[in-house]
Structure 1
Amino acid sequence: MPYYKTEIEAGKTIEVIKSHTRSLNDHRPREGREKITPEDMKKINRINTEARLARLINANFGYGDYHLVLTYRKDLRPSPEEAKKRLAKFLRVLRREYKKYKEELKYICVTEYLNTAIHHHLIINGIEANINKIVRDCWEWGSPHFTPLDDTGQYRELAAYFIKETSKTYKANDGGAKQHYTCSRNLIKPVKKTTIIKSINWLDIPKPKKGYYIDKDTVYNGINPFTGAPIQKYTMVKLPEIKGKSG
């Protein structure tokens, strides 16, 4: 019986999903399929949200870009609604600053405020300028904190952290966060391709394509909770380029 192989290319990563059904979210009843509880559904939704965000980060950001945290001085902490306005103003001003260097701002951001002091997490693209000074000049309500992205190209842990950071606020749905994250409209979308593989089944231990390695923490062999059919998932990451030795 042939199976479907879906590959989602995002930057240096290729996510692979193998299944006997083309639709991975088939809600039709299937004999032998266990009933999905509300808690199961919440977990599945969180995993899917983390995966979508990881693909978006991987496709658009990398070495030379930054994880930025914007905090507020204690006497300047706003309400969630006011924080949205301040963040929007910051992004408008920052976008103008980028244009001065003939660069286009790219970003993904989340906001958290339940059981913690309100703050914003962003991923922004770096430019050939003093980005530290530019951001500090644009953010007038507190201190920005910078963490450079590494050169792996695989940022699934950062995506999971972003979703964890905003999970309580998102669940509250009180006007502060209508979605887990927001992003600029100029981001590249991951490329998805599905092919039919004429083989009875797949290997339990997948092999990477040439020039890639498999992120072992992403390998999953199990049952699709929606379809009751076997499924395999894993992510391949591009190997670092070997720099030539100087003679």
Structure 2
Amino acid sequence: MPYIKKTWRTGRVEEVEKFFSRRTHTQGAARGPKKEKTSEAMMAINEKNAENKLRRLMNTNFGHRDPYITLTYARKNEPPEPEAAVANVKKFKNDVRRLCKKNGAEFKFIESSEWKGVRPHHHMVINIGNMDDRVLDDLWPHGRIKHQYLDDTGQYGELAAYFIKVSRKAFRDPESPCRKRWTASRNLVKPEPKVEIIRADSWKKEPKARQGFIIEKDRCFEGYHDFTGYPYQFYSMRKACNKKE
């Protein structure tokens, strides 16, 4: 009764997902309660999958001291409609790309915008090489740019979840001018999992970190899959910080 093991290596973070599938002969595997696939449940699953994808994308492509910026609008410059906000942030990204090219740097970004029920603003995680991110202030004439920076953990799951949250209303609005949870530059590395078929007797309820890593206890789950009812496990481990780093 083998199970499927998927392993994602994303920067300093490694994630492991273990589950049974009908393709792996589930006879004899103890099942938990199988839940009904309601529209609300499917919506929650889709949002969680989007968060997982974005987290892995962030962890793979960005790291310590990379800028996390928020583009805001002065009240007098607030765009009259969402389409104008979409055009503004698109022009900003094009201007940054040209500036990076001029300075021999590669521009990487993930961006998520919020404009439903609030004053529009745009969140971006970026990499602009060795350039000082404060040079970007002159490229945004509509208001201020708030500058923050990623920490050294390599785990940016909370930020990914926030990006998904702020885009939720616009994503679900059929009249939204940009029904995307986020946009990203094409030059990002897209992590793919290593897939293995493992003997069932190797399944351990307590995950063990490989050498040099520590288990992220708040990112571990042991139980049953919501829809299949078969045993399911997910855990995340992070590379231990080296004091010399």
Question: TM-score surpassing 0.5?
Answer: yes
Greater shift, 145-154 or 163-172, is seen at 163-172
* Structure 1 equivalent of residue 191 of structure 2: 190
Question: RMSD over aligned Cα, in angstroms?
Answer: 1.8
Distance 1:74 1:126, change over 3 A: same
Provide Cα deviations, 1:10-59, integer angstroms capped at 9, x if missing partner.
Answer: 11111100112288xxxxxx996221222211211111111110000000
Q: Tell me, yes or no, if structure 1 residue 174 matches structure 2 residue 175.
A: yes
Structure-2 separation of matches of 1:229 and 1:126: 45
What count of residue pairs does the alignment treat as equivalent? 237
* Structure 1 equivalent of residue 139 of structure 2: 138
Structure-2 separation of matches of 1:98 and 1:12: 26
CA contact (8 A) 2:67 2:133 kept: no
After TM superposition, the structure 1 = structure 2 runs for residues 74-223 of structure 1, keeping only pairs within 5 Å, are: 74-78=75-79, 79-132=81-134, 134-200=135-201, 202-223=203-224
Report the AA paired with residue 43 of structure 1: A
Structure-1 separation of matches of 2:21 and 2:93: 42
Structure-1 separation of matches of 2:90 and 2:32: 50
Q: Displacement, 1:226?
A: 2.9
Q: Which runs of 5+ in 2 are unaligned?
A: 24-30
Return the TM-score normalized by structure 2: 0.91
SS of the residue aligned with 1:233?
strand
Structure-1 separation of matches of 2:75 and 2:111: 21
Provide Cα deviations, 1:68-93, integer angstroms capped at 9, x if missing partner.
Answer: 10001111111111111111111111
SS of the residue aligned with 1:104?
coil
CA contact (8 A) 2:70 2:124 kept: yes
* Structure 2 equivalent of residue 243 of structure 1: 244
Distance 1:22 1:148, change over 3 A: farther
Q: Displacement, 1:130?
A: 2.3
Q: Which runs of 5+ in 1 are unaligned?
A: 24-29
Return the TM-score normalized by structure 1: 0.90
Report the AA paired with residue 10 of structure 2: A
CA contact (8 A) 1:3 1:201 kept: no
Q: Displacement, 1:200?
A: 2.3
* Structure 1 equivalent of residue 10 of structure 2: 10
